Structure 1
C-alpha cells in the first residue's frame, strides 16, 4: 500500500489541479464586485442525511487558497448528519471563500456520499468477520479522496493503484498462458526488480482455486463471480493458506450472504462508482 507521505502528496495534487481547472487566471465574478479588503463568513449547511466526509479535506482546500481563512468545526468526519446541521463556519477574505466554495462542495458532496454508502455496507456485515473493500473503480484524478471517504465510512482500502500490489486477474492470466505461469513470472519480476509487493490472484472456478494453491506465497485469492455454494467450497479449500476475497456484482441484497460464506473480504466498486452526491451548501452568514 502507498505510504502516508505519498497519500498526502496525492491530495495536494488533487487540490492544485482542481484550483487550476476552476479558477484559472482568476475568479472574475468575485474580483469584479467584491473588494479585496472585504471580510465574510459562511456556513457549510447539510440538506440531506448520511455520513459527513471531507471536513479535513475542506480545511486543506481553504488553507491552500488562503492560509488566513479560519475554520470553526462543529461536526467531524464520519459523523451522522441530518437536514439543517451546520458542519463548520469559515471566515476571512470574502474573495477567498468564494474561490474555494465550489471545490469544497464538489469534494464533500461526493466524499459524503461514498462514506454513507460504505457505512451502509459495513452495517450489513455486522456480526460477521468480513470486511468491505473498495476498488480502483474511482473517478479519474480524485482517487485519493474517494478512498479516504471509504475509510471514513468504516471500510478498508484495497490497493491504491497498479504500482502497489500485484493483482493477477483473468486477462493477465490468459495473456500469460495460465495461472501457474502468471504467478511464476510475477515472482521472478519482483525478485529481479527488488520489489516487495503482495500477490493477489483471481479465480474463476474451483479448479482455478486448486491450481492457485499449488503456488507458494500468494497473499489473497479473489473469488470472482462465484455463487454461494462454490464460495463456501472455495473458502474450505483455501483454509488458512491465504486470505480470501469475494467480488463480482455483490450488492445490498447479497453482501450478507457472501459474508456468511466465510470470506475475509468483499470488494465492491459500487462504493465509489454508484453513489448520489449528498446535498450540501455553503451559505453566507
Structure 2
C-alpha cells in the first residue's frame, strides 16, 4: 500500500480573479477586434435603437470557465447590457444547456459576441480537459496540476480554468519557486550540487523542487532534502519504487507520458501530483454558441 506525503497540494478554491486583470485582457481583445473603425457590419445593418435578447448555450458536454470574461465583454461595449449567469464557473454542462443570457443594445451584443465566446470557449475547454483527467484519478488522492505551457499573456486565466476543472496550479512563473530541471543539472554538474546551490540562494519561504530521471538521481537528491521531486518519464512500476524511496519526506510529482490512457496507472503508483501541459496547450475549445434575437 502506498502512502502519500503530507505535502500534497490541499483542495482549496481559487480566489476570484481581480477584475482589473480581466478588464485589461477583455479590453485588449475588443480593441483588436474592433480595429480602427469599429464593427462596420453591425453599424451598417443594425439600427442604433435595436434591442437584443441572446442566450449563451453549450453545444457539447464540458465544464464552464470564464463567464466573467463574457460578462465584461458585454459591459465594456455598453454598461447598460444586462448579463445573467445561469450556471457558475466549474459547473458541468451538457449539449443544449443555457449558461447565460444577455439583454440590451443589439449593436453592443453583436460587437462583443466573438470576444466573449473566445474567452468562454477557450477557458471552458481547459476546464473540461482538466476535469477528464481529474475524474480518471478521482479514486486516488493524486492531484492533477498544470504547467507553464500556457498561451502568452493568458497564464493567470488558463490556470484559473484548470482550477475550475478540478485541477491545481503549479508555478505561475519563474519566481514562484525553484525548479531545478535536467538542463540546470547538466550545467551545474550534479543533482546534489544544484540543490545545495539552490538552498544557499533561496529565502526561507522559497520551496525547492528537483527533476530526476532515474532512481539513482532520486536517492542523490533526497540526501539534500528537497521540498519536492519531479519524477520525469518513469513507468508506474518505477514510480512506485520512487514513492517508497521518498517515503513522505517530499512532495512527489510525476510528469511525462501523461494521457487519458495512462493517468490512472500513474496516480495508482502513489505520487502526490501529476503535471501535464496538455490541459492548457492542447485542450480543444468547448463549443459554445450565442443564439440571438433582435427586436
TM-score (ref. length: structure 1): 0.90
- Report the CA distance between 1:234 and its aligned residue: 0.8
Residue 57 of structure 2 contacts residue 289 of structure 2 at CA under 8 Å; is this kept in 1? Answer: yes
Instruction: Summarize the Cα distance change of 1:209–1:276 in structure 2 as closer, same or farther, 3 Å threshold.
Output: same
- Report the CA distance between 1:267 and its aligned residue: 0.7
Residue 11 of structure 1 contacts residue 144 of structure 1 at CA under 8 Å; is this kept in 2? Answer: no
Asked if 1:238 corresponds to 2:249, the answer is no
SS at structure 2 position matched to 1:232: helix
Counterpart CA distance in 2 for 1:46 and 1:110 is 13
RMSD (CA atoms)? 2.1
Instruction: Summarize the Cα distance change of 1:190–1:12 in structure 2 as closer, same or farther, 3 Å threshold.
Output: farther
Asked if 1:268 corresponds to 2:276, the answer is yes
Residue 147 of structure 2 contacts residue 169 of structure 2 at CA under 8 Å; is this kept in 1? Answer: yes
Residue 192 of structure 2 corresponds to which residue in structure 1?
180
Instruction: Summarize the Cα distance change of 1:208–1:254 in structure 2 as closer, same or farther, 3 Å threshold.
Output: same
Residue 206 of structure 1 corresponds to which residue in structure 2?
215
Alignment of 1:1-285 (within 5 A): 9-25=20-36, 26-191=38-203, 196-216=205-225, 218-285=226-293
Residue 206 of structure 1 contacts residue 234 of structure 1 at CA under 8 Å; is this kept in 2? Answer: yes
Q: Which runs of 5+ in 1 are unaligned?
A: none
SS at structure 2 position matched to 1:135: coil
Task: Summarize deviations over 1:157-206 as a string: whole Å, max 9, x none.
Answer: 11112221211111121122222222232233334xxx832211101111
Counterpart CA distance in 1 for 2:177 and 2:100 is 38
SS at structure 2 position matched to 1:84: coil
Counterpart CA distance in 1 for 2:219 and 2:238 is 13
Residue 7 of structure 1 contacts residue 144 of structure 1 at CA under 8 Å; is this kept in 2? Answer: no
Task: Summarize deviations over 1:102-143 as a string: whole Å, max 9, x none.
Answer: 111111112222111111111111221111101111222222
